[in-house]
Amino acid sequence: MSLILIYLIVVAGSLVRITGSGMGCPDWPKCFGQWVPPTELAELPSDYREAYLLKREKKVKKFCRFLNVMGMHETAVRIQSNPDVYVEEAFNAKKTWTEYLNRVVGFLAGNAMLIGFIWMLLVYRKRKFILLMLLNLILMGIEGWFGSIVVATNLVPWTITVHLFLALVIIGIQLYLVYSMGNGSQTALQLNRSMRMVLWLILVITFYQMFLGTQVRESIDFLVKQGFTRTQWMDKIGMEFLIHRSFSWLVLILLGWMFWKNEQAQKYSIIRWTFAVLAVELVSGVLLAYVDMPGLVRTSHLIFASVLFGLLLFSVFQLKKNPA
């Protein structure tokens, strides 16, 4: 259940991104100072934008002090001197409730993990898994806190990338717990050395691809703000898109080879599912790049990328240490 809710966070976060709802709630963990956000502008004071801007400024200063302590002085200066950070958006009920949904899913996932940790502590009582669950619970808290930083800095691009990285780490740990506690060794993958190396290579490329895709999305968002149309994106977007596209073809070739080898001999269902997910992922990527499709295609692109990452990682967990 926790793993499903974590993936739902990815879905909700993607919906927030494509609808531009990241600033739908100007504060955190509450939304406009309420646990249940308003539905109409009349429910807010007339000076709400000024009030929340002051709160944002305080939070940005506090975060920049933290960055300075970490030695990231230039980053702190860039954030504090960026005028976009201090833009307070007008209330929009749809955006507010989209962001609120994202927070509700995060709250449910966090509580599901907490319940799982308590169960392990009282019933399962295996030290290794208790520590891993505790680590993931802490990471979930950090992810929630960093989500507030993403909001406070008005979606500064690199903070979104860090947010995604933490989500993938949490997914990875949770998948390992599911595999280990589910006696996954019974379904171990007995792959030869070549297939094992290719599987690891695909996983590394896919992991990198997800961050590269975030950078491509950030570049597109910047071009949209500058007034460039879809037909002009390909000329302006830079090397990130070309690398992202080239690596997508490389993953297709490598996984296609694995699928072919699997059908000849082992016929493991997880390899079939991984190839199928990759196919859908590539189709959604092509639609995003060359066809003016609805925002939900962007959501599906991230969802299938996350599922693909999960399947690849789970396959690595299932690798038999000493294959025949």
Higher per-residue confidence, 287 vs 124: 124
pLDDT in tens, 194-225: 889 999 999 999 988 888 877 777 776 666 66
- pLDDT, residue 183, reads 60
Query: Cα 14 to the chain's mean position, in Å?
Result: 8
Higher per-residue confidence, 273 vs 159: 273
> Quick check: 5 and 115 in contact, CB under 8 A?
no
- pLDDT, residue 99, reads 86
Give the C-alpha distances (Å, rounded to integers) separating 314 from 39, 59, 236, 307: 42, 38, 37, 10
Give the C-alpha distances (Å, rounded to integers) separating 66 from 56, 75, 118: 15, 11, 32
> Quick check: 199 and 168 in contact, CB under 8 A?
no
pLDDT in tens, 146-200: 877 777 776 666 777 788 888 889 999 999 988 888 765 456 788 888 889 999 9
> Quick check: 56 and 152 in contact, CB under 8 A?
yes
Q: What is the C-alpha separation between 85 and 76, in angstroms, rounded?
A: 12
Kindly tell me if the per-residue pLDDT of 233 is higher than 80: no
DSSP letter string, 111-168? HHHHHHHHHIIIII--HHHHHHHHHHHHHHHHHHHHHHHHHHTTS-HHHHHHHHHHHH
- pLDDT, residue 202, reads 94
In the chain, the percentage of residues whose pLDDT exceeds 90 is: 14
In the 8-state DSSP scheme, what is residue 71? T
Whether the full predicted model's pTM is greater than 0.95, yes or no, is no
Query: Cα 39 to the chain's mean position, in Å?
Result: 28
Q: Tally DSSP H helices, then E strands, for the chain.
A: 11, 0
For domain 183-324, the CATH class is mainly alpha
Kindly tell me if the per-residue pLDDT of 15 is higher than 90: no
CATH 1.20.120 residue ranges for the chain:
183-324
Dig out the tokens for 48 from the structure: 């709400």
Kindly tell me if the per-residue pLDDT of 253 is higher than 90: yes
Kindly tell me if the per-residue pLDDT of 306 is higher than 90: no
- pLDDT, residue 289, reads 64
